[in-house]
Amino acid sequence: MRFLLFFTIFPSIVLADQGVEISCVNMKNLLDKEYKVQKFKFDVMTFQYFDEKKNQFIEIANKDLIIKKDFFAARFPEYELGFQINKTNESKNPIMSMSKYDYKNKEFIDHYLCDVKTAYIESY
């Protein structure tokens, strides 16, 4: 019975990839008591962002992202979200930030401070 139970549960466990969950807060609102957290997921195959209108994560294939060393960006019709890993010589823990860039008007709209944690990401 245990053997059968293991094979029933095991396939659902294997479907998840290890990736990162990213939570970002607008730096303008960092000191507010009630601030809005932007949620993202990033794994080997996809970048996922939470669409509040649809109340679900939307996937973008990694091949459609701009990926460089310590940086990746997702482009949308009106803006680009750029995620940067910032390292300092003094700190052993890098900090991730996100910038919202209006590429039509060539200006940064907002800057975010992000928290990153390793997680198993399920595809939707």
In terms of residue numbers, what domain contains 115?
17-121
Express each pLDDT in 33-66 by its tens digit: 778 899 999 988 999 998 888 898 889 999 999 9
- pLDDT at res. 91: 67
The model's confidence at residue 6, banded by pLDDT at 50, 70 and 90, is very low
Instruction: Kindly state whether residue 28 falls inside one of the protein's structural domains.
Output: yes
What total number of domains does the chain contain? 1
Cα angle, residue 43 at apex, residues 37 and 46 outer, rounded to 5° = 90
3-state secondary structure 74-86: EECCCCEEEEEEE
The backbone region for 55, taken as left when phi is positive above 0, alpha when psi lies in -120 to 50, beta otherwise, is left
Instruction: Kindly state whether residue 104 falls inside one of the protein's structural domains.
Output: yes
CATH number of the CATH domain containing 107: 2.40.128
Q: Is the pLDDT of residue 15 over 70?
A: no
Instruction: Kindly state whether residue 7 falls inside one of the protein's structural domains.
Output: no
Instruction: Kindly state whether residue 49 falls inside one of the protein's structural domains.
Output: yes
